[in-house]
Structure 1
Amino acid sequence: MAFQSILFKDPRNVEKQLRTPPDFFVDLGLNNVAEELVKGLDEFNIEPLFYTPLDQTDEIVYRQQVFVDIENPRLMGAIRVFSDRFRMVLAYINNDRLYELQRQGLFLKAVNVYCGSLRDLAKALESGGIRSEGLQAFRDYLGNYLNTSEFNDLRTDAENTLSKITSVELCLTIKGGSISVSKCDGTVDYSEEVERVFERFMGSGTIGDEGVRKPIYIRGHVEEVVLEFAAKLYPDAFRALRDFYVKHKDFLNQTIARFYREIQFYIAYLRYIEPLKKSGLMFCIPRLTSNKGEVNCRDGFDIALASKLVKKNSVVVTNSFHLTGKERIIIVTGPNHGGKTTFAREFAQAHYLAKLGVPVPGSEATLFLCDTIFTHFERGEAVESLRGKLEDELVRIRNILEKSTERSIIIINEMLGSTTVKDATIIGRRILKRIADKDCICVYVTFVDELALTEGVVSYVSQVDVNEPEKRTYKVIRQPPNGLAYALALAKKHRVSYQDILERVKP
């Protein structure tokens, strides 16, 4: 396979990226995840990648395999070093605020960093035991490129030019407001002494990324004047520098530059989930299926909420879910603020992240390859709308039911709260029938326990502490609805149960 992209097996999919987030992003909290993921990475424009799920299994597996490879700390370390050095190369060659000789000097440095970074990355890929189709193709491409006359000429010219430039030794005599420049003829070199004196003002030190001592720069136009004098004193060396700059001005290999940009997607996601994994939470590479009766996930969690909680050193509660056979609809009931909505988000997030080809929350997962996700979350009444809240909810769910297909996932959260329980039950069952007729997968969070008794649905219930019923555990378990049991436990705790009241009113 000829390498073209580390993100897309078929590079034509590059052009299919979305520029705006899906409609459900805010409901699922994925807007916060995407914002955190791309922070500080504006130059790479990778945000659209998180808006654009993949539809073909082979494209998803292509990315999954890369993630498996770079989970190897040594390989990931090498890729991060390459990324840092390549970023430095771009910073050197795109600095427009320099004078001509300064630009040529940094250009030479950029090429040397570039050549070194490619050779080191090639060694890491050769010894990394990589198995992914994408990285294997890039390894082969990089190896072939390093053996081309184009690269070898670049490397040899850079080494020769650097040798000539590093042979330049200048003696600067500073007196008052004037600087005189001359060749060094046995003059004592005070540069190390000057560095030692001013070291505390020079940040992290004077040793560069290539293990070479950084020179002391007199920034701005003064440096340029000094370099102009140096060019007159050493014309051959600076002529070689100029010729090198002109000859190799377009030295960057565009395929490798694309790899550098695209690999940031993987680096950014692994950086985001790293603190979550350190806290003990698990991520896995999910298996994709077209069989709705195989859907399952163990030890999953809401990734957006988990990120916030881990930063506060708070505990993240994990939950599991599964569908078997002809099961399609999950009804989630239980006390308010018990983790029902979080469970629904977890379900939808897992399926969306799986379509991005990234590791998903959980110790293991088999997820349905859906075409899209629809969400129906509570909305405040819009002043400009002439519709009431109930009518607005029904209009929105009708639109969802019309647009959805048998491959869609629908998430409904606390709908019909503005009507009576009786009406909510009747309307809710009609909605469930429409969803069942379409054979969609659905997670329906509701306060109406009766919906969980509908034929063909699966009941999940958010739990409370047995000894302290008002205390939520945030665990959501597959079991029949028990809203009355929860109410009875609360009544007993506060001694307002039927028996308690009878005891108190006895004469």
Structure 2
Amino acid sequence: MKVLLLYENRDFDLKAPLPWNEKELMQDLELNILLNAMAGSDEFLLEVAMKTILTGITNDLDTIIYRQGIIQDCLKNPSVIRLLYDITEGALESRKIGWFGVFSKYPSSILSDAIGLMEIFSDILKQLRQVADEHVNKFQSDGFNRFFTMLQKELSDTYFEEINTNLESLKFRDGILISYEMGNGNKGIHPRLHQYHGKRKSWWQRLFAKKEHIYTFNIHPRDVGGARALSELTNEGINLVANALAQSNDHILHFFKLLKTELAFYIGCLNLHEQLAKMQAPVCIPEPITHMERKHAFKDLYDPCLALKMGKRIIGNEINVLNKNLVIITGANQGGKSTFLRSIGVAQLMMQSGMFVPAENFQANLCNSLFTHFKREEDTTMNSGKLDEELSRMSDIAGQITGDSLLLFNESFAATNEREGSEIARQIVTALQEKNLKVFYVTHLYQFAHNFYNNNKEDKAIFLRAERQTDTTRTFKLKVAEPLQTSYGKDVYYKVFEET
């Protein structure tokens, strides 16, 4: 049985490696807030959410659309999804309690425990089949339609009848019928287990029935060696069937593990959606666009991590960036530029993992890798200067860049003077543009921003500015506007000293 709720044609690999810049993405985009909202206090949900989101940066448009359909089914039927997850968790917990055969070297013990576990698994599979029968008509996605149809087809009444019949026969209530061939020295070889076809007799029939003419012998109760030999013969005879049943249990167990893992991602999505809904923060199913195009268009896009941290809905932005590879963001200090940059990165990760995104509507082209280069605090160990550290990180990124990457810069290369920082930024961004890479750059380097503004003759860049009203109020909105020579840092200065 195949789960296939995250990929249409393959299983999800929880052991797949995280991207090399996982720590930078987590720190710069504050993803720990988002992931904790998805997981709550469940470490397994946290692991699955992190792995799914951080490994979702691919150009696999079909997989994104496939997951989007499943997400929409989940949002419409959250109780059914949680029920499936609870049933699956119960199966795995039952395995921990009831399966000790793996620790035994005796086939008889393995068989006994395997029978008990298969009976438990059979009951749980019946619960899954019942959920499929009751709720299949509520789901429209290809993923869940295939999944429920598979459950109904493979977990038929005939299937469960065969399980019960075979398990009952493996309990050997009428004894074990084994044949041996005679080898050298009359040693038994090639044991073969046979199914007993005789009718089970009542105690009355066994007591008064006519004795059959067969050769038998009984082991004396004190014959320890004979009992041991008989036990060895029995174990040899049932060894193959014990291993076969144990492998069947492993197959079903593998199915439950995969089902729990793939459902865990959608449980995390439901948890996040519920928290955002409480704040009346909008979400939407985004429209992913092929990586060959260049587009970022959205309405009321916001940073969900900041909203979750503050516990309330925050101001979003509305932008339409078409056929451009460079977005330079300037404007007032504390005007929402860094928050906007994080919202771009988080939305891209959420979209490419097949999730909803924090906006009223959202369109963006796919990228095959996401890089962040945010300013850092001074190196307290004094191993290197701040500019050296920034250049070192940029060198690492340059070594990993592939075509159709998305890069987010936040006040990069501002650790030196205006002229030098602007020239470093100009050369790096120019090189990235020549490789057709997409760049969002938040900066206070006026020479850098204005240089690109003056040379934007081919209209390949767009310039956004954080709004500041005449009374110094920040609206936290960004609009298309020419870079200014000031970032109004004095507003922050006056605010701090007036409040003190």
Structure 1 and Structure 2 fold alike (TM over 0.5): yes
| Aligned position for 1:343 | 340
Once the two structures are superposed, the pairs formed by residues 32-71 of structure 1 within 5 Å of their partners are 32-43=33-44, 46=48, 47-53=50-56, 54-71=58-75
Q: Is the 8 A contact 2:332 2:489 kept in 1?
A: no
> Higher mean Cα deviation, 292-301 or 246-255?
246-255
Instruction: Give the distance between the partners of 1:92 and 1:391, measured in 2 at CA.
Output: 55
- Is 1:80 the counterpart of 2:82? The answer is yes
The amino acid of 1:82's aligned partner reads L
Q: Deviations over 1:219-252 (max 9, x none)?
A: xxxxxxxxxxxxxxxxxxxxxxxxxxx9988668
Instruction: Give the distance between the partners of 1:89 and 1:355, measured in 2 at CA.
Output: 31
Count of paired positions: 398
Once the two structures are superposed, the pairs formed by residues 243-262 of structure 1 within 5 Å of their partners are 253=252, 254-255=254-255, 257-262=257-262
Q: Is the 8 A contact 1:292 1:323 kept in 2?
A: no
The amino acid of 2:63's aligned partner reads E
Corresponding residue SS for 1:323: strand
Q: Deviations over 1:26-64 (max 9, x none)?
A: 211123322443344335652422331144211222211
Q: Is the 8 A contact 1:37 1:268 kept in 2?
A: yes
Q: Is the 8 A contact 1:17 1:49 kept in 2?
A: no
Instruction: Give the distance between the partners of 2:261 and 2:389, measured in 1 at CA.
Output: 44
- Is 1:304 the counterpart of 2:305? The answer is yes
Which residue of 72, 94, 97 maps to 1:95?
97
Deviation of 1:460 (Å) = 1.0
Once the two structures are superposed, the pairs formed by residues 66-215 of structure 1 within 5 Å of their partners are 66-73=70-77, 76-95=78-97, 110=120, 114-115=124-125, 117-130=127-140, 132-147=141-156, 149-153=158-162
Structure 1: tracts of 5 or more residues without a match: 159-245, 494-507
Q: Is the 8 A contact 1:146 1:152 kept in 2?
A: no
Percent identity between matched residues is 23
Q: Is the 8 A contact 1:297 1:364 kept in 2?
A: yes
Deviation of 1:93 (Å) = 4.0
- Is 1:321 the counterpart of 2:331? The answer is no
Corresponding residue SS for 2:97: coil
The amino acid of 1:14's aligned partner reads D
| Aligned position for 2:237 | none
Whose relative contact order is higher, 1 or 2, with alpha carbons under 8 Å and at least 6 apart? 2
Structure 2: tracts of 5 or more residues without a match: 101-108, 168-242, 496-500
Instruction: Give the distance between the partners of 2:426 and 2:32, measured in 1 at CA.
Output: 32
Deviation of 1:481 (Å) = 2.3
| Aligned position for 1:395 | 392
Q: Is the 8 A contact 1:421 1:448 kept in 2?
A: yes
The amino acid of 2:326's aligned partner reads I
| Aligned position for 2:281 | 281
| Aligned position for 1:476 | 478
User: Quick one: structure 1 residues 396 and 258, their matched pair in 2 at CA, closer, same or farther if it must change by over 3 Å?
Assistant: closer
Deviation of 1:70 (Å) = 1.7
Corresponding residue SS for 2:92: helix
Q: Is the 8 A contact 1:89 1:113 kept in 2?
A: no
| Aligned position for 1:460 | 464
User: Quick one: structure 1 residues 283 and 77, their matched pair in 2 at CA, closer, same or farther if it must change by over 3 Å?
Assistant: same
Q: Is the 8 A contact 2:92 2:256 kept in 1?
A: no
Corresponding residue SS for 2:372: strand
| Aligned position for 1:237 | none
Deviation of 1:150 (Å) = 2.7
Q: Is the 8 A contact 2:98 2:117 kept in 1?
A: no
User: Quick one: structure 1 residues 41 and 323, their matched pair in 2 at CA, closer, same or farther if it must change by over 3 Å?
Assistant: same
| Aligned position for 2:16 | 17
User: Quick one: structure 1 residues 485 and 347, their matched pair in 2 at CA, closer, same or farther if it must change by over 3 Å?
Assistant: closer
Instruction: Give the distance between the partners of 1:269 and 1:369, measured in 2 at CA.
Output: 21
Corresponding residue SS for 1:95: helix
Instruction: Give the distance between the partners of 2:119 and 2:255, measured in 1 at CA.
Output: 21
Corresponding residue SS for 1:354: helix
Deviation of 1:488 (Å) = 10
Q: Is the 8 A contact 2:92 2:257 kept in 1?
A: no
Instruction: Give the distance between the partners of 1:490 and 1:93, measured in 2 at CA.
Output: 60
Deviation of 1:419 (Å) = 2.0
The amino acid of 1:261's aligned partner reads T
Q: Deviations over 1:359-398 (max 9, x none)?
A: 1111222212111111111123435565422233233324
| Aligned position for 2:420 | 423
Instruction: Give the distance between the partners of 2:259 and 2:493, measured in 1 at CA.
Output: 63
The amino acid of 2:124's aligned partner reads Y
Q: Is the 8 A contact 2:370 2:405 kept in 1?
A: yes
Instruction: Give the distance between the partners of 2:65 and 2:436, measured in 1 at CA.
Output: 26
User: Quick one: structure 1 residues 366 and 151, their matched pair in 2 at CA, closer, same or farther if it must change by over 3 Å?
Assistant: same
RMSD over equivalenced CA pairs, Å = 3.8
Deviation of 1:265 (Å) = 0.7
- Is 1:352 the counterpart of 2:349? The answer is yes
The amino acid of 1:6's aligned partner reads L
